[in-house]
């Protein structure tokens, strides 16, 4: 069965960096694009970024453009989110999700990892 | 950028009743709209894609309709496990965007 397991969350101070990982299993990783979506405490869902199946195309929400970078290692079935210059408003649970057949719907989701940015 | 507005913000109903949730887009998204269910402490789950197609394993009591700017998620007869928050999401224009959610609570 499809599994997505996020890791790397934690508490950091404003301006610091953090790298999240999402390990995928149960499907052919190289066939699917991957998303990161976040959810601030008590708030709704915010799409953050997407990487194409082969890593050639990447897209970002305006709120993170220039600060966050998505990447993938298809040999390790893992997608990453490098987060730099973190701000308190980046505090959220970060979910990775598998795309649905290049349809940009989010078919399978991980359990999420909490990132807290606070001084 | 397309904005999705969901209504109502909160819907209070009893098990066995019919639920109708709305999602309105600021411009046409054709049929490129999905619905997700999220229960407390859990990740969202895809229910409906392309406005009216149920995802794998989703019960038939969930149905979606609409096109253009107005969409509806209907739950024909509420089960206790259906009380949750529901989000719509469009993929017609970049970036993908979610609505703010509708909380379906037990009356």
For the stretch A32-47, pLDDT in tens is: 999 999 999 999 999 9
Per-residue confidence (pLDDT) for residue B28, from 0 to 100? 96
Which B positions 45-104 lie with beta carbon below 8 A of chain A? 45-46, 49-50, 55, 87, 89, 91, 94-101
Per-residue confidence (pLDDT) for residue A87, from 0 to 100? 98
For the stretch B33-61, pLDDT in tens is: 999 999 999 999 999 999 999 999 999 99
Give rounded-to-5 percent helix, strand, coil for chain B.
5, 50, 50
Q: Which tokens in the block code for residue A66?
A: 């220039």
Please name the helix (run of DSSP H) or strand (run of DSSP E) that holds residue B89, with its range, or none: strand B85-90
Res A90 pLDDT > 80: yes
Task: Write the CA distances from B77 to B35, B49, B80, integer angstroms.
Answer: 17, 20, 10
Shortest CA gap B95–chain A (Å):
7
Spans of chain B below 70 pLDDT: none
Task: Write the CA distances from B99 to A15, A101, B41, integer angstroms.
Answer: 29, 22, 19
Residue of B nearest to A44 (CA): B100
Q: Do B96 and A47 touch (CB under 8 A)?
A: yes
**Dist. CA A68–CA B28, nearest whole Å:** 30
The three-state secondary structure class of A30 is helix
Give yes or no for a cis peptide into B8 (omega within 30° of 0). yes
pLDDT band at A101 (very low <50, low <70, confident <90, very high): confident
Res A102 pLDDT > 80: no
Q: Do A107 and B91 touch (CB under 8 A)?
A: no
Per-residue confidence (pLDDT) for residue A103, from 0 to 100? 83
């Amino acid at each position: 069965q499809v599994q997505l397991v996020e890791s790397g969350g934690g508490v950091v101070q404003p301006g610091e960096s953090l790298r999240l990982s999402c390990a995928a299993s149960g499907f052919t990783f190289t066939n699917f694009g991957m998303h990161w979506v976040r959810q601030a405490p008590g708030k709704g869902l915010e799409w953050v970024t997407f990487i194409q199946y082969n890593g050639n195309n990447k897209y970002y929400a305006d709120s993170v453009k220039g600060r966050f970078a998505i990447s993938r290692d298809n040999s390790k079935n893992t997608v990453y989110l490098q987060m730099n210059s973190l701000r308190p408003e980046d505090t959220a649970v970060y979910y990775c999700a598998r795309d649905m057949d290049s349809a940009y719907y989010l078919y399978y989701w991980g359990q999420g990892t909490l990132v807290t940015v606070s001084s | 950028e397309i904005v999705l507005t969901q209504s109502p913000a909160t819907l209070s109903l009893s098990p066995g009743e019919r639920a109708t949730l709305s999602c309105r887009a600021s411009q046409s998204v054709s049929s490129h709209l999905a619905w997700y269910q999220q229960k407390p402490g859990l990740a969202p789950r895809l229910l409906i894609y392309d406005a009216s197609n149920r995802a794998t394993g989703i019960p038939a009591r969930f149905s979606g309709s609409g096109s253009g700017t107005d969409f509806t998620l209907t739950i024909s007869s509420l089960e206790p496990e259906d009380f949750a928050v529901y989000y719509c999401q469009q993929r017609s224009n970049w970036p993908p965007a979610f609505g703010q959610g509708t909380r379906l609570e037990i009356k």
